[in-house]
Amino acid sequence: MNRLTPEQLAAGVQDLPSLPAVVMELLSSIEQEDIDISVLAKKVSYDQALTAKTLRLANSSTYGLQVKVTTIQQAITFLGFQTTRNLITAAAITGCFPSGRCAGFHDKGFWRHSIATAACARALARRMRFNQDIAFTAGLLHDIGRLVLVTGHPDAYTQVVAWHAQHGGDWQDAEQAILGIDHVDAGVALADHWNFSSTMRQAIAYHHAPDVHGAGFLAAIVHVANAIVHALDLAGEDDELVPRVSSVAWDAMVLNEEAYLHLFRETELQFGEMSTILMA
């Protein structure tokens, strides 16, 4: 057994790779409107790789621009600040963590699932008249605690992978059996360390338990998006299982069968293009 204490978890979070300072600023201000956009655009432009990936996303068919944007400032002008901030964050986070650290953990499969959940959460949020950009980011980050554990404790997580292969079930069961904590605990620890907004922190904390009092509607959106993406098998994992879906969260989406079928198709289309760009 490799039980992790809260102190060991905190130390692992401290040792994680640093995001660009401008991305940390964007994440901590996700619900603020009084941001100096021109200053942030200039800061992002200093990181050429981040800028290039962000602009590829902005020019993708997902966002349907009639003109090609070539600068972050133009992206903000045509897409709006919140959407551009969303794309910058996605471009940075998907390239932040090292891969190949843990035997049996499929880094590409992880990111494929996260990107698909983000696309689905965004599409769901639009139908629910909820903030699409916050939903996208929450979908992208919902399982980020798994990367915290894989990156900080790769040998221990190899045992988690082995336990899961033998016993099946949810990843939380395997993590609790071996580590004594799970990726939700680790995700919340990272949310605190990276100064995520309380809304984002709640979504990470309760995306497996949206029925809990105070979980918030964003957690319900991410919960349903996560289940849909598992059902569509977009991550391409051999052991893909559809998790139990909260009837409360599902019913809260108030969508009929036809609407869900449209949602499935939209998720698959957007995921294909976005994953190609973000995982390049």
Higher pLDDT: 167 or 22? It is: 167
Task: Quick: pLDDT tens for 264-275.
Answer: 999 999 999 999
Sign of CA dihedral 211, 212, 214, 217: negative
Neighbours of 267 (CB within 10 A): 24
In the chain, beta strands by DSSP E = none
Nearest Cα to Cα of residue 247 among 203, 204, 211, 206 = 211
**Tokens in use for 79?**
């897409």
DSSP state of 170: -
Percent of the chain with pLDDT strictly greater than 90: 56
Nearest Cα to Cα of residue 129 among 252, 5, 265 = 252
Q: Please compute the mean of the pLDDT values over residues 214-227 and round it to a whole number.
A: 96
Neighbours of 112 (CB within 10 A): 20
Collapsing DSSP to helix, strand or coil, 142 comes out as: coil
Please report, for the chain, the start and end positions of each structural domain, with discontinuous segments joined by +. Answer: 6-11+100-278
CA distance 233 to 56: 25
Task: Quick: pLDDT tens for 37-49.
Answer: 787 788 888 889 8
Predicted local distance difference test score (pLDDT) of residue 58: 93
CATH classification code of 6-11+100-278: 1.10.3210.10
State the burial class of residue 232 (Cβ atoms within 10 Å of its Cβ: 0-12, 13-18, 19+).
middle
Nearest Cα to Cα of residue 145 among 200, 114, 190, 110 = 190
Residue 7 has pLDDT above 90, yes or no: no
Length of the chain (residues): 280
CA distance 95 to 264: 27
Q: Residue 241 — very low, low, confident or very high, per pLDDT cuts 50/70/90?
A: confident
Angle (nearest 5°) at CA 11 between 5 and 12: 90
**Tokens in use for 5?**
């204490």
Residue 215 has pLDDT above 90, yes or no: yes
Residue type present at position 124: L
State the burial class of residue 101 (Cβ atoms within 10 Å of its Cβ: 0-12, 13-18, 19+).
middle
Angle (nearest 5°) at CA 134 between 128 and 140: 105
Predicted local distance difference test score (pLDDT) of residue 230: 92
Look at the block and give the residue holding tokens 């603020």.
32
DSSP string, 70-93: -SHHHHHHHH-HHHHHHHHHHHHH
CA distance 8 to 3: 9
Residue 280 has pLDDT above 80, yes or no: no
